[in-house]
Amino acid sequence: MSEKPKLHYFNGRGRMESIRWLLAAAGVEFEEEFLESREQYEMLLQDGALLFQQVPMVEIDGMKMVQTRAILSYIAGKYNLYEKDLKERAWIDMYVEGVRDLMDLIRVHHKLSPQEQQKNLALIGEKAATRYFPVYEKILKDHKDDFLVGNQLTWADVQLIEAILTVEEKVPTILSEFPLLQAFKARVSSIATIKKFLQPGSQRKLPTDEKAVAFTNRIFNRR
Amino acid sequence: MSGKPKLHYFNGRGRMESIRWLLAAAGVEFDECFLETRDDLLKLQKSGTLLFQQVPMVEIDGMKMVQTRAIGNYIAAKYNLYGKDLKERALIDMYVEAIIDLDELLMMYALQPADKKEQYLANIVDKATNRYFPVYEKVLKDHGQDFLVGNQLSRADVQLLEALLMAEEYKSDILAKFPLLQSFKARISNVPTIKKFLQPGSQRKPPLQEKDLPKVMKIFNLGH
């Protein structure tokens, strides 16, 4: 009997957020155990629950999975968000990886000094508007389908909408030159499972702030 | 008719090396087109063949694939190096992702300023011998099989061997405390396709030399 997946992470976005998005999009209920102290983290370590001593860790189907991409791949494969055809899978992988590169810029943003944050903001805006979003705009333009690959919702669409919304929090006008991405955003946001996830009270986490940074630094013992 | 895969990168390891390893392990012949100057990269970018303006790029089966992981996934799946079901795939992915983390650490060594190199090296050795290698040693110990997953050669074995050999280049006795990894290394090195790749004259690339670093930095516009 499989229980709900159980997510181990701190109470914030970080590397776990994409996993929350994917489970939510797949309509899978999940539980969360938040790391609130260094002792908790060390207990997980001592229990041998963290294969490489790191979180995210997700208990799912009898496994204690680690490594964000491995977890995402498994969820996508299990819940039919990952095409079976090898070539369509290749496109999904390429699109996902591109989006994740962009998200990496945002993920570290709150760790930077205010000065560095200004520079990073400009970089995020530039890369989003010139390197990444034009690619997805063109994909939608070329095939005119509702979704990026295979004319059905896949991991690529979920990763993209997470990125769009996250970039918009930093650069609100970022989609001004991308009408098809605007339509994509509206369309995918209204898919029932995703709409639910976007509502207040869901397990979606708020953007990370300085308090959260100090807190996690203490848990993970970073200087 | 599909020709041989064609790899676009500079003439060095970088992010393309694990792809060379996978193709070689799968017994797939491939061609290489080397970027020698920044202009070569700019030309490639202008030609619209790089989806996100970046290399590695691999022409394969009518696609111009980019993103190292996507390329690795495709090759592994196509040539039966990705396990037989979702759970084996999950294990392979976990093992490979951690190896990629270790590879990143190794790759970044060359970019460290001279006065930070010693400390950085100590960190590499610490992570390798305390975080990563013990895991794979234990995996092999627990199931007693020749390969990491599913009792057959997979991408995880290929990438682990690559990482072990690279780590040894930094510290030749780094496997001293890991007897099973030592025998794993010997065993996987003897797989015929891999043995061939490990011989001189193959498409395996040597470690980056200090003297070649400026050229690479220039191509990718790093550190200016």
Instruction: Summarize pLDDT for A156-189 with one digit per residue, the tens.
Output: 999 999 999 999 999 999 999 999 999 999 999 9
Quick one: B101 exposed, middle or buried, by C-beta within 10 A (0-12, 13-18, 19+)? middle
Interface predicted TM-score (ipTM) of this complex, two decimals? 0.93
- C-beta atoms of B73 and A66 within 8 A: no
CA neighbor of B167 nearest in space, from B155, B182, B150: B182
Phi/psi for B190 (5° steps) reads -90, -5
**Residue A127 contacts residue A171 (beta carbons within 8 Å):** no
Task: State yes or no: pLDDT of B223 exceeds 60.
Answer: no
User: What is the least distance, in Å, from the CA of B199 to any CA of chain A?
Assistant: 31
A84 touches chain B (CB under 8 A): no
A86 touches chain B (CB under 8 A): yes
Best of B71, B79, B97, B126 to substitute, by most chain A Cβ atoms within 10 angstroms, is B97
- C-beta atoms of B70 and A74 within 8 A: no
- C-beta atoms of A68 and B78 within 8 A: no
Q: For chain B, give the mean pLDDT.
A: 95
User: For residue B66, what is the enclosing H or E element?
Assistant: strand B63-66
Please tell me the least confidently modeled range out of A38-42, A62-66, A111-115, A206-210. A206-210
Structure tokens at A147: 């979704």
**B6-10 and B31-35: which strand pairing?**
parallel
Task: State yes or no: pLDDT of B126 exceeds 70.
Answer: yes
Q: Give the chain B residue whose CA is nearest to the CA of A65.
A: B94
Please tell me the least confidently modeled range out of A36-40, A70-74, A176-180, A193-197. A36-40
> Running DSSP on this structure, what letter comes out for residue B1?
-
For B154-180, the pLDDT digits (tens) are 999 999 999 999 999 999 999 999 999
- C-beta atoms of A51 and B93 within 8 A: no
User: Is the Cα dihedral B70, B74, B77, B79 positive or negative?
Assistant: negative
End-to-end, the C-alpha distance of chain A in Å comes to: 43
Phi/psi for A179 (5° steps) reads -60, -35
Residues of B with CB below 8 A from A63's CB? 87, 90
User: What is the least distance, in Å, from the CA of B201 to any CA of chain A?
Assistant: 31
SS (H, E, C) A138-150: HHHHHHCCCCCCC
Q: How confident is the model at residue B1 (pLDDT cuts 50, 70, 90)?
A: very low
Round to whole Å and give the CA distance between A52 and B69: 20
Phi/psi for A180 (5° steps) reads -70, -35
CA neighbor of B158 nearest in space, from B5, B16, B20: B20
In chain A, positions 96-135, which contact chain B (CB-CB < 8 Å)? 96-98, 101, 131-132, 135
Amino acid at B118: E
Per-residue pLDDT at B143: 97
Tokens 């995402």 locate to A72
- C-beta atoms of B132 and A52 within 8 A: yes
Across residues B55-59, what is the average pLDDT? 97
Share of chain A above pLDDT 70, in %: 97
A154 touches chain B (CB under 8 A): no
Round to whole Å and give the CA distance between B63 and A31: 40
User: What is the least distance, in Å, from the CA of B75 to any CA of chain A?
Assistant: 10
Round to whole Å and give the CA distance between B39 and B45: 10
Task: Name the residue facing A90 among B70, B93, B135 (closest C-beta).
Answer: B70
